């Protein structure tokens, strides 16, 4: 079990509303390379790991990804706080507003709803770790695109921090992958 601390891993204090950027950031909430998808994938895959080290790593990273979901949600909330109906319409949030008001809905920036089909669990630790490394690289790339789009240092700082965590997660998965390959795990 783990203890929940009621604070974000990185402080978020957005001073300027920016619905355009908020809509783009939604991809890291409900998109295929987003934090929700990573959390569910890793927490699902952990049961198929051949040892406690693998289970622990996937549990640790999966729960950290849930913390990142909270950070993305906070970013979007702060970027859209006090948005008027006119701004909601102007920046394409009107379709979300129709059914969800100002609540977040798990979808990407194009409005495509999240689906569990995004995450892969094969029952093969080597295949799963390969997929996990690719997922971290995809998320890193999306963060880099978002950084390119951001003109707000308060947002960019958060995105840079999250990007760095993707790099660290990739490295941890790669270490486990390499060790499992040396142990002959995944070979028939």
Burial status of residue 13 (CB atoms within 10 A of its CB: 0-12, 13-18, 19 or more) = exposed
Percent of the chain with pLDDT over 70: 98
Closest Cα to residue 148, out of 156, 137, 158, 157? 156
49, 126 Cβ separation under 8 angstroms? no
Question: Which tokens go with 33?
Answer: 């390379």
Residue 3 has pLDDT above 80, yes or no: no
With respect to residue 2, please indicate whether it lies within any of the assigned structural domains. no
Give residue-wise pLDDT tens across range 26-55: 999 999 999 999 999 999 999 999 999 999
Per-residue tokens: 14: 């957005």
Decide if pLDDT at 187 tops 70. Answer: no
8 domain-assigned: no
- The domain in which residue 25 lies consists of 19-183
pTM, two decimal places: 0.94
pLDDT at 4: 74
Report how far residue 56's alpha carbon sits from residue 122's, in angstroms, rounded to the nearest whole number. Answer: 18
C-alpha 145/C-alpha 108 separation (Å) is 14
- pLDDT class of 18 with cuts at 50, 70, 90: very high
* Helices then strands, each counted (H, E), the chain: 8, 0
Domain count, the chain: 1
The number of beta carbons lying within 10 Å of the beta carbon of residue 113 is 9
What's the rounded Cα separation, in Å, for the pair 90 and 100? 17
Q: Is residue 60 part of a domain?
A: yes
- Please give the pLDDT value at position 62: 97
How large is the average pLDDT for residues 51-75? 97
Distance CA 74, CA 19 (A): 13
Point out the least confidently predicted range of 3-7, 11-15, 40-44, 65-69.
3-7
Query: Is 160 inside a domain boundary?
Result: yes
Q: Are 63 and 2 in contact (CB under 8 A)?
A: yes
Tell me, what DSSP letter sits at residue 83? -
The CATH number covering residue 165 comes to: 1.20.1260.10
* 7 is a domain residue: no
The residue ranking higher by pLDDT, 187 or 167, is: 167
116/83 Cα distance (integer angstroms): 31
Inside any domain, residue 43: yes
Instruction: Please enumerate in sequence order all residues whose Cβ is within 8 A of that of 98, keeping only pairs 6 or more positions apart, or say none.
Output: none
């Amino acid at each position: 079990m783990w203890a929940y601390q009621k604070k974000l891993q990185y402080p978020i204090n957005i001073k300027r509303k920016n619905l355009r950027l908020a809509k783009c950031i939604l991809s890291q909430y409900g998109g295929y390379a987003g934090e929700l998808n990573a959390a569910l994938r890793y927490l699902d895959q952990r049961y198929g790991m051949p040892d406690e080290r693998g289970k622990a790593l996937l549990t640790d990273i999966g729960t950290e990804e849930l913390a990142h979901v909270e950070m993305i949600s906070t970013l979007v909330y702060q970027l859209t706080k006090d948005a008027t109906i006119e701004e909601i319409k102007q920046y394409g949030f009107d379709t979300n507003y129709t059914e969800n008001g100002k609540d977040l809905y798990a979808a990407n920036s194009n409005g495509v709803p999240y689906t569990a089909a995004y995450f892969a669990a094969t029952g093969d630790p080597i295949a799963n770790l390969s997929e996990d490394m690719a997922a971290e690289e995809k998320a890193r790339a999306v963060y880099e695109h978002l950084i390119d789009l951001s003109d707000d240092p308060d947002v960019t700082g958060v995105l840079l921090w999250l990007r760095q965590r993707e790099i660290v997660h990739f490295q941890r998965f790669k270490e486990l992958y390499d060790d499992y390959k040396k142990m002959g795990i995944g070979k028939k």
